[in-house]
């Protein structure tokens, strides 16, 4: 069964009267994590659309920045988006449910989730202050540190030249060999096989593209300055 077929099953449960929070609770097991990840990105993306006030833009187009959605499955993605957008539950409740669903997240899927939300936030070429506030609050609820949020933001938001140390998540006084080790670790974690092993759907490997460009550029800058 394809990813989007499983999402369609989840939508059928929603149509039968189950709340989205209940569906989240049913997706905690590792075999369901690809479905859980996709629903989490789309659901929080819907709430974020409210945050920046752009509720009429074509969010399915924005989701293409994260997922490859076959034409025949666009209706399911749009339906899920509209359900989440119209749900009376606030985004903080969604974020708490998602945090509970992924638990301690030893594999870093919550950072992957935040990357997906940053992709969607920047899909229209703008980064609204309300989106920044939304994403910062979501990252806090998900348990990301201030440093992790700053690192993610530096990779995506074009409001300033990103600090290469922030991009790699290291301090400026870190020895070069340790910076190199951090860079290599990020490159390994960005490999599509590693991402899918964490539970990300194959359709979401686009998440790796911008990350890899940013971390390689950051390492090249630091290494050049140290020469």
Cβ atoms of residues 190 and 211 within 8 Å: yes
Phi (first) and psi of residue 17, to 5 degrees = 115, -5
- In this prediction, residue 134 carries a pLDDT of 93
Q: Take residue 106 and report the two structure tokens written for it.
A: 């030893």
pLDDT tens, position by position, 10-36:
767 666 666 666 666 666 665 567 777
Closest CA to 40 of 154, 201, 208, 156: 201
pLDDT at 176 over 90: yes
Counting Cα atoms < 13 Å in the Cβ hemisphere of 81 gives: 22
- What is the reported pLDDT for 16? 65
What confidence tens digit (pLDDT) does each residue in 107-133 have?
Answer: 578 888 898 888 888 877 778 888 899
CB of 104 closer than 8 Å to CB of 83? no
Across 199-205, average pLDDT = 68
pLDDT in tens, 47-102: 887 765 554 455 556 666 667 777 777 777 777 777 777 776 788 988 888 888 77
Across 1-5, 45-49, 129-133, 220-224, least confident range = 1-5
Q: Between these two residues, 226 and 178, which has the higher pLDDT value?
A: 178
pLDDT in tens, 38-47: 888 888 888 8
Q: What is the pLDDT of residues 137-165, one digit of tens each?
A: 999 999 998 888 988 888 888 776 778 99
| pLDDT given for residue 119 in this prediction | 82
pLDDT band at 180 (very low <50, low <70, confident <90, very high): very high
């Amino acid at each position: 069964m394809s990813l989007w077929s499983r999402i369609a099953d989840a939508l059928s449960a929603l149509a039968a009267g189950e709340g989205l929070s209940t569906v989240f609770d049913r997706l905690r097991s590792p075999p369901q994590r690809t479905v859980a990840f996709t629903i989490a990105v789309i659901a929080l993306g819907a709430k974020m659309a409210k945050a920046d006030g752009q509720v009429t833009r074509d969010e399915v187009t924005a989701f293409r920045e994260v997922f490859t959605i076959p034409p025949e499955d666009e209706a399911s993605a749009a339906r899920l988006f509209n359900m989440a957008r119209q749900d009376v539950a606030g985004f903080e409740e969604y974020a708490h449910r998602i945090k509970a669903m992924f638990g301690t997240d030893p594999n870093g899927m919550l950072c992957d989730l935040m990357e997906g939300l940053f992709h969607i936030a920047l899909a229209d070429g703008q980064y609204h202050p309300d989106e920044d506030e939304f994403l910062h609050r979501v990252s806090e609820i998900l348990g990301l540190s201030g440093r992790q949020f700053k690192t993610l933001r530096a990779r995506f938001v074009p409001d300033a030249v990103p600090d290469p140390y922030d991009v790699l998540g290291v301090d400026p006084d870190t020895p070069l060999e340790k910076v190199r080790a951090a860079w290599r670790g990020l490159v390994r974690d960005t490999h599509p096989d590693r991402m899918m092993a964490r539970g990300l759907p194959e359709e979401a490997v686009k998440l790796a593209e911008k990350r890899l460009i940013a971390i390689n550029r950051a390492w090249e800058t630091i290494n050049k300055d140290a020469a």
